[in-house]
């Protein structure tokens, strides 16, 4: 299974099997996963932070507290790391950490990730320890507690242990651990209400020609729409991405149709109106276009120049009006003031099921930047304000909400 774009935390405890974990991280990275490592203090006795940082191409997380208490330090990583993850894998898991997790402690980053992981995301725990320890009443009780909380416990293998004795307690080989992770993520994809659904996403700006070398457009980079298309594909949807001119790579598994003008985007999207399950309008479609396109290159002969602009088709609005009762329409509202009121108005006018309100300061949200601050408003529901998130994470929150709407239907 291709793990491209999957966010995986590898939690490593202080057991001898920890020496195999850089290889595990490498295997996951080779499959395209984004890997972050949470290492316990005891884990540092068995595997070096430098090795793990090198193979994971990121920092190794240990304490929930930043190294210094200087101003400007990010104090929220202990929450955001768990929220970021698609899966938490603890390998090897020692008796001590099993007890900490079962007791709900959050005294290091690994234990805190266990508490902050989003509901429904898989937790895979690979206990590895001496055979007698593993079979002890305390360890078995803690394992039962963790299982009752939804964690998947992978039984250790039998064989020769570090103690020199034979017994049950060995961590599976990294290749086998990768297979377990793939199985868990695959079953998650299959359980998403978006699995197998046909989703059309519009993205990017449109260009409205003035003459053969000039156009009207806007600053949209397409990043938000592309992140939505990618996240929907990762949940098993069949995604068609209709994009205006942008410099972004097509997300894996997504069918992309490139267009230039609003009229072209409308034509491409219109082909999918009857057959798609969900239409997500993330494009910054130019509202107007020049009434006539000048042939060739306009000369600067006149001191003043006037254009007549005519209204472009409202692509999302058209879909909203035509959609049948089982189709979902989702849009964005880019506002400057009275955001919630204006967004609700658009939701009604365009007959949408969900609208994502945002602002564009081109610093923290909106056009061009990598982050966004969305307020999600469901038809007939309250407005839910999200914090500033990466566009990838914001896309996932949007899709979580769409999944909820699908489940409630």
Q: Which residues are catalytic?
A: 218
Find residue 36's DSSP bridge partners. 9
Closest CB to ligand CTP among 131 and 222?
222
The dihedral region occupied by 53, where left means phi > 0, alpha psi between -120 and 50, and beta the remainder, is alpha
Q: Decide if residue 231 touches ligand CTP (CB under 6 A).
A: no
Residue 334 engages ligand CTP in binding (rule: CB under 6 A): yes
Cα 27 to Cα 171: distance, rounded to the nearest angstrom: 16
- In the complex, minimum distance from the CB of residue 399 to ligand CTP, in angstroms, rounded to a whole number: 15
Residue 287 in contact with ligand CTP, rule: CB under 6 A: yes
Q: Which of residues 190-219 bind ligand CTP (CB under 6 A)?
A: 202
Q: How far is the CB of 267 from ligand CTP (least distance, A)?
A: 13
Stretch that binds ligand CTP, among 23-31, 157-165, 325-333, 381-389 (CB under 6 A): 325-333
Which listed range, 1-9, 63-71, 99-107, 277-285, lies at the site for ligand CTP (CB under 6 A)? Answer: 277-285
**Beta strands in 317-397, from DSSP E residues, in sequence order:** 328-334, 354-358, 371-372, 375-378, 383-385, 389-390
The answer to the question of residue 315 lying near ligand CTP (CB under 6 A) is yes
Of the two residues 188 and 356, which places its CB atom closer to ligand CTP in the complex? 356
Asked if 24 and 91 touch (Cβ cutoff 8 Å), the reply is yes
CB of 137 to ligand CTP, least distance (A): 58
The single residue listed with the structure tokens 């949200």 is 365
By the rule CB under 6 A, 278 interacts with ligand CTP: no
DSSP 56-100: HTSPEE--SS-SS--TT----HHHHHHHH-SEEEEEEEPHHHHHH
Q: Where does this chain touch ligand CTP (CB under 6 A) — which range of 17-25, 244-252, 282-290, 369-377?
A: 282-290
Selected binder of ligand CTP within 154, 316, 376, 394 (CB under 6 A): 316
Q: If we measure between CA atoms, which residue out of 177, 155, 139 comes closest to residue 21?
A: 177
- In the complex, the smallest distance separating the C-beta of residue 398 from ligand CTP, rounded to whole angstroms, is 12
| 285 touches ligand CTP (CB under 6 A) | yes
**Site for ligand CTP contains 332 (CB under 6 A):** yes
281 binds ligand CTP (CB under 6 A): yes
228 lines the binding site for ligand CTP (CB under 6 A): no
Q: How far is the CB of 233 from ligand CTP (least distance, A)?
A: 19
* Residue closer to ligand CTP (CB basis): 189 or 373: 373
Among 312, 327, 365, 375, binds ligand CTP (CB under 6 A): 312
* Residues linked to residue 59 through DSSP beta bridges, in sequence order: none
Minimum distance of ligand CTP from residue 405's CB (angstroms)? 16
Contact 243, 222 (CB under 8 A): yes
Q: Give the interface segment with ligand CTP, choosing from 51-59, 228-236, 279-287, 362-370 (CB under 6 A).
A: 279-287
Give the side-chain half-sphere CA count within 13 A for 293: 13
- At which residue do the structure tokens 């939505």 appear? 228
Distance from C-alpha of 94 to C-alpha of 156, rounded to nearest angstrom: 11
Chain positions 102 to 161 lying near ligand CTP, rule: CB under 6 A, are none
- 152: which DSSP letter? E
Q: Which stretch binds ligand CTP (CB under 6 A): 93-101, 108-116, 281-289, 301-309?
A: 281-289
Please tell me the distance from the alpha carbon of residue 256 to that of residue 226, in angstroms, as a whole number.
Answer: 10
Selected from 93, 333, 354, 394, the binder of ligand CTP by CB under 6 A is 333
Burial of 306 (0-12, 13-18, 19+ CB in 10 A): exposed
Residue of 331, 347, 393, 395 interacting with ligand CTP (CB under 6 A): 331
Is residue 353 at the binding interface for ligand CTP, with CB under 6 A as the rule?
no
Provide the token pair at 338.
């009275």
Q: Which residues make Cβ contacts (< 8 Å) with residue 287, sequence separation at least 6?
A: 311, 312
Q: What tokens were used for 217?
A: 């457009």
- CB 244, min distance to ligand CTP, A: 10
As given in the structure block, the two tokens for residue 102 are 């079962």
Minimum distance from residue 268 beta carbon to ligand CTP (Å): 12
Tell me whether residue 7 or residue 312 sits nearer to ligand CTP (CB atom).
312
CA distance 333 to 339: 8
Do you know the residue count of the chain?
Answer: 409
Q: Which stretches of the chain bind ligand CTP, using CB under 6 A? A: 202, 262, 281-283, 285, 287, 312, 314-316, 331-334, 346
């Amino acid at each position: 299974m291709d793990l491209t774009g999957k966010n995986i935390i590898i939690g490593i405890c202080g057991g001898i099997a920890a020496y195999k974990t850089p290889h595990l991280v490498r295997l996951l990275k080779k499959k395209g996963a984004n890997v972050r490592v949470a290492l316990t203090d005891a884990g540092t006795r068995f595997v070096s932070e430098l090795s793990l940082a090198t193979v994971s191409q990121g920092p190794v997380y240990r304490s929930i507290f930043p190294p210094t208490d200087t101003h400007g330090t990010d104090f929220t990583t202990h929450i955001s790391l768990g929220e970021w993850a698609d899966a938490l894998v603890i390998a090897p898991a020692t008796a001590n950490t099993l007890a900490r997790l079962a007791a709900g402690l959050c005294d290091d980053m690994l234990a805190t990730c266990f508490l902050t992981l989003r509901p429904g995301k898989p937790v895979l725990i690979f206990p590895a320890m001496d055979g007698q320890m593993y079979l002890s009443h305390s360890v078995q009780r803690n394992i039962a507690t963790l299982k009752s909380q939804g964690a998947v416990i992978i039984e250790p293998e039998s064989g020769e242990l570090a103690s020199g004795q034979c017994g049950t307690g060995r961590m599976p080989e990294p290749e086998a651990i990768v297979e377990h992770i793939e199985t868990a993520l695959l079953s998650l994809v299959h359980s998403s209400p978006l699995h197998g659904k046909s989703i059309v996403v519009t993205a990017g700006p449109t260009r409205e020609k003035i003459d053969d070398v000039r156009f009207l457009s806007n600053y949209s980079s397409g990043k938000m729409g592309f992140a939505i298309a990618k996240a929907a594909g990762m949940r098993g949807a069949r995604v068609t991405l209709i994009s205006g001119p942008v410099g972004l790579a097509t997300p894996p598994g997504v069918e992309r149709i490139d267009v230039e003008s609003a009229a072209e985007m409308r034509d491409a999207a219109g082909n999918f109106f009857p057959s798609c399950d969900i239409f997500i309008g993330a494009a910054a479609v130019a509202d107007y276009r020049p009434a006539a396109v000048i042939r060739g290159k306009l000369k600067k002969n006149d001191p003043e120049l006037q254009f007549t602009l005519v209204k472009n088709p409202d692509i999302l609005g058209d879909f909203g009006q035509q959609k049948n009762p089982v189709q979902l329409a989702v849009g964005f509202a880019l506002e400057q003031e009275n955001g919630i009121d204006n967004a609700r108005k658009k939701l009604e006018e365009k007959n949408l099921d969900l609208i994502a309100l945002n602002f564009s300061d081109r610093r923290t949200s909106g056009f061009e930047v990598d982050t966004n601050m969305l307020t999600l408003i469901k038809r007939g529901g309250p407005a839910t304000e999200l914090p500033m998130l990466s566009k990838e994470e914001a896309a996932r929150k949007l899709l979580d909400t769409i999944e909820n709407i699908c489940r409630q239907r």
